[in-house]
Amino acid sequence: MKKGLIITICSIAVVFTTIAASAVYAAQTSTVEKVGTSDELTNITTKDTATSRELNKNPEAKLEGNKDIALSEVCDIDKVIDFEKIKKEKGVLKEKKLMTYGEYLDTSSLDKQELTAISEDRQLWVVKTEYADGYDHPKLGYLEDVTMTELYDSETGEYLGNEIKANHYKSERP
């Protein structure tokens, strides 16, 4: 049995949008009254300058549930997947499956409580591609023995993010 490091990466576009909006809200509504050394930072207090509302740490889903959607309303995933790119990068499409986001979370390494921008009842296309010869990630470098799982919205085909699992990491292609 081959041993190796498992690297898991996830980027969900909707979640990052929600986080960015929360950061903008926090920047607009709070000012720091005290700044000090790192030992003093635990005692920082903030003053609300715009409103007395608390930050909503569990916002309603931006992509609402649609688990009962008719198949005629589901986008054709074959028109969304970039088969030429997969072929060029020496990938092999292993699976394309329609499932709810909750079903996907049950099989992934993502934490259910952190990703609330997508309803667990939202239908998604889950597309798995293997790159046995490696994958050259633009930010992480060269990854070996990669399985990439990409998520697409079932109605629009919008790319929502991915999860990458790799057994080895190298900063450069061999």
How do the pLDDT tens digits run along the chain, 174 residues long?
A: 444 444 444 444 444 344 344 443 443 433 333 344 444 434 433 444 445 667 666 666 688 889 998 989 999 999 999 999 999 999 999 999 999 999 999 988 776 665 668 889 999 999 999 999 899 888 888 899 999 999 999 999 999 988 999 987 665 666
Structure tokens at 36: 């000090």
Q: What number of other Cβ atoms are within 10 A of residue 144's Cβ?
A: 19
Among the listed residues 6, 9, 25, the one whose alpha carbon sits nearest the alpha carbon of residue 17: 25
Contact between 2 and 144 (Cβ < 8 Å): no
Q: Specify the pLDDT at position 121.
A: 92
Q: Specify the pLDDT at position 53.
A: 65
Q: Specify the pLDDT at position 170.
A: 67
Q: How far is 162 from 150, CA to CA, in rounded Å?
A: 4
What phi-psi label fits residue 37: left (phi over 0), alpha (psi between -120 and 50 degrees) or beta?
beta
At 65 the three-state DSSP class reads: coil
Structure tokens at 23: 């950061």
Q: What number of other Cβ atoms are within 10 A of residue 166's Cβ?
A: 24
